[in-house]
Amino acid sequence: MSDDPQLDLLNHKLQLQQVEAALELDPENGELLQLKRDLEEVIKLSLELLGRTSDTPEVSWNVGDQCMAMCSRDKLYYRATILEFLGDVSCVVNFDMYDTTDVCQLCHLKPVTTVTPIVKKKKHDTKSRAIEKKKIKKQRLLQREVEIESFAKRRKTVGLISARK
């Protein structure tokens, strides 16, 4: 067991999924059936311990929602925007003030509670940054094509020299 009860709960749920998958192959296995009952009980007790019983409504998150997300580096909460969900337990968030992304567990998301104004970057800055990235990418592509052409010419020249001998 780890120090994080949320992580323990996730591990128990994963183990339950594995046991259920094994039961599909062998539904009469008494040990697996008992293990499934035990894991369900442990999950229920863990949820009660965390104060997250099934009667408690959970926040339903959507892509684009503003939230307070825990940063994996310093374990502090920052204002973030949900970009993508990765299964049922985690998501990708963008920390608004730092313009960095991170993977965060859904249990580490909180509703925005403070009334601080959201600092939005100007569309012009975002557009100019995107245009600059495209220019750099195009420049790298052209440079790569030139390298390929020069390599092909050298190879052709070496081939002609060897053919003459």
What pLDDT, in 10s, does the model give residues 31-72? 989 999 998 998 888 887 776 544 444 678 999 999 999 988
| 36 close to 20: Cβ distance less than 8 angstroms | yes
What residues does each domain of the chain span?
5-50, 66-110, 122-165
- ∠ CA 125-129-134, rounded to 5°: 150
* pTM over cut 0.85: no
Topology of domain 66-110, per CATH? SH3 type barrels. (2.30.30)
